[in-house]
Amino acid sequence: MIYELRRYTLHPGRRDTLITLFEREFVEPQEAVGMRVAGTFRDPDAPDTFTWLRAFPDMEARRAALEGFYDGPVWRAHRDAANATMIDSDDVLLLRPSGPELPSWERPPAGAAELPAALYVATICHVGEGFAEFFAGQVAPALAEAGTPPVGCLESEHAENTFPRLPVRTGENVFVWFTRFARPEDERQADLPMLDARLTAPPVRLRLRPTARSSMR
């Protein structure tokens, strides 16, 4: 499985416009050509961003699915409206599973408006070689003991970008884990001193609230 973790910077005040358009027009057409929209989120700490995940069986399937969508009638009809909300859409990490797969629920139908109560936290770490084994052996048990077990783990996929029309970040080696809290008020952080010597840059912590039609809920 191949994942894209996509984080868009938007024009001020345009996030809800994009999410409404996205959930109405873009979810089912993307999945119809072979990809899965795994999660869509608002970041309460960054109101002019939109963060989402999509998944593909492999890199060749990614190429075919992206060609099918971006050369198709749905994107052609709505791309100008979508692009008008965005300042930048190139902050994209190409990832593969490295531990538990991300959770998934049945997606509510188009037009759903009720927001899930959950909060996800994505921790993005810049790391050296062998970090996945270190994480599984030392970090994941510490997270579980602290009551914040990872519900999904991803690491960099370094294969060549099979759809260069959409850039991805290169020259980086990252490990990303997701934690889920039933409510934002349940959020807490584990003390992980063992990470200090294993990271090549300070970790980035994204707090993510699922949108109404997100499969991660």
CATH number of the domain at 118, please.
3.30.70.100
Q: What is the pLDDT of residue 152?
A: 97
Q: Is residue 216 included in any domain, yes or no?
A: no
SS3 readout for the chain = CEEEEEEEEECCCCHHHHHHHHHHHHHHHHHHCCCEEEEEEECCCCCCEEEEEEEECCHHHHHHHHHHHHCCHHHHHHHHHHHCCEEEEEEEEEEEECCCCCCCCCCCCCCCCCCCCCEEEEEEEEECCCHHHHHHHHHHHHHHHCCCCEEEEEEECCCCCCCCCCCCCCCCCEEEEEEEECCHHHCCCCCCHHHCCCECCCCEEEEEEECCCCCCC
Range of the domain at 19: 2-210
pLDDT tens readout for residues 93-151? 999 999 888 999 999 999 999 999 999 999 999 999 999 999 999 999 999 999 999 99
pLDDT at 142: 97
| pLDDT at position 145 | 96
Q: What pLDDT score does 95 carry?
A: 98
> Which residue ranges of the chain lie beneath pLDDT 50?
none
For residue 215, being part of any structural domain is answered with: no
Per the structure, how many domains does the chain have? 1
Residue 217 lies in a domain: no
